[in-house]
Amino acid sequence: MLRSLAQKVPRTTTTPLQPATRVLLPSSSQLARTMYQKKTVPAKHWTKQEVDERVTELLFQYAHVNPKQVILEANLQTDLLFNRLDRFSLYWDTLTSFEFSENNTAYMPPRRFSRDFKSGREAADWAASFLEEEGRLIM
């Protein structure tokens, strides 16, 4: 039976291998500048009132108390019952929602700044100061 199958399969001839030709590929920096470059959307400009409103929305997400008690001046730990994870999440969401550039966020250690937030007011003022540094805070 095996011989009958082998006889039905046509034999192919192999050709000798050709010497390898060198193909020049563009460097990774050339690829990044040409094929894979994404369109950059200009970062949003914020007013101080919009910053306060956005930080208040973030506080509502993580507060473990009655929503009427959620104000910017409330202490995160004693009044809003934030734990360490909630404070870090507030810090991280503040970074991502205001789209801080990598130049500013590269030197900011996350644990220290998340512990430094004592109230929503401090988080809003901190975000506004970085927006002002980047020229994206509308006065």
> Hey, what domains does the chain have and what are their CATH numbers?
46-134 (1.10.1200.10)
* Cα 132 from Cα 75, distance rounded (Å): 25
Kindly compute the dihedral angle of the four CA atoms of residues 89, 90, 92, 97, in this order, to the nearest 10 degrees: 130
Q: Which two tokens stand for residue 22?
A: 């060198």
10-30 in b/e burial notation, b at 16+ Cβ within 10 A? eeeeeeeeeeeeeeeeeeeee
Does the structure show a pLDDT above 70 at 77?
yes
- Are 116 and 124 contacting, i.e. CB atoms less than 8 angstroms apart? no
Other Cβ atoms within 10 Å of 57 Cβ, number: 12
Helix, coil or strand: residue 125 = helix
Tell me: the pLDDT tens digits for 6-16?
556 556 555 66
Tell me: the pLDDT tens digits for 97-110?
998 766 666 566 67
Does the structure show a pLDDT above 60 at 75?
yes
Q: Mean pLDDT lowest for which of 5-14, 49-58, 66-75?
A: 5-14
What pTM does this model have? 0.67
Pairing of strands 137-138, 46-47: parallel
